[in-house]
């Protein structure tokens, strides 16, 4: 009976570490770089990593709200692949309508109006195994600096 209990305990412990490992969506080579370059970044339950750059003092958006953001998107090697930096022409879209990658959906729901945050997006929450040619290679970890300028509540 004791052996059975020990075997069961080992299975549970091994299973919990396996479950923990499955939650990390960054490939090991990318995880090392992220932990070295952004030691203050925190992993969320979705696998997204975030780091607060500047706190905001406004409300948080909700599903269906329209948000206006400024952003810069980088590959992990520092290559800029996309940006919207002009406050007069921010990138505007409605949350939870499939308009942006999952990493943005999860990240923006955590932000407050006026906040600037770094989003470190594993490929599973970004452009997946195919990427987005020609700018984003397959299975790319993406880095975004996103500033949430304005929230327009859904009507």
**Residues designated as active site:** 71, 81-82, 101, 127, 144
Closest CA to 113 of 51, 68, 49, 52: 68
Distance CA 67, CA 100 (A): 12
Closest CA to 53 of 120, 102, 105: 120
What is the phi/psi pair of residue 57, to 5°? -125, 10
Indicate the length of the chain as a whole number: 155
Distance CA 120, CA 26 (A): 9
Instruction: Report the Cα 50 to chain-centroid distance in Å.
Output: 6
Token pair 């022409």 is found at 89
Distance CA 106, CA 22 (A): 18
List the beta bridge partners of residue 70: 147
């Amino acid at each position: 009976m004791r052996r059975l209990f020990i075997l069961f305990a080992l299975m549970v412990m091994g299973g919990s570490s396996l479950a923990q490992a499955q939650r990390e969506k960054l490939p090991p080579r990318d995880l090392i770089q992220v932990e070295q370059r952004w030691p203050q970044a925190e992993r969320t339950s979705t696998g997204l990593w975030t780091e607060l750059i500047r706190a905001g003092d406004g409300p948080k958006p909700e599903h269906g709200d329209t948000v206006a953001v400024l952003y810069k998107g980088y590959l992990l090697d520092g290559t800029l692949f996309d940006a919207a930096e002009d406050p007069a022409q921010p990138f505007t879209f409605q949350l939870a309508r499939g308009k942006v990658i999952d990493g943005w959906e999860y990240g923006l729901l955590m932000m407050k109006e006026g906040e600037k945050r770094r989003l470190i997006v594993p490929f599973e929450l970004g452009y997946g195994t195919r990427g987005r040619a020609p700018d984003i290679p397959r299975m790319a970890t993406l880095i975004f600096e996103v500033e949430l300028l304005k929230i327009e509540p859904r009507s």
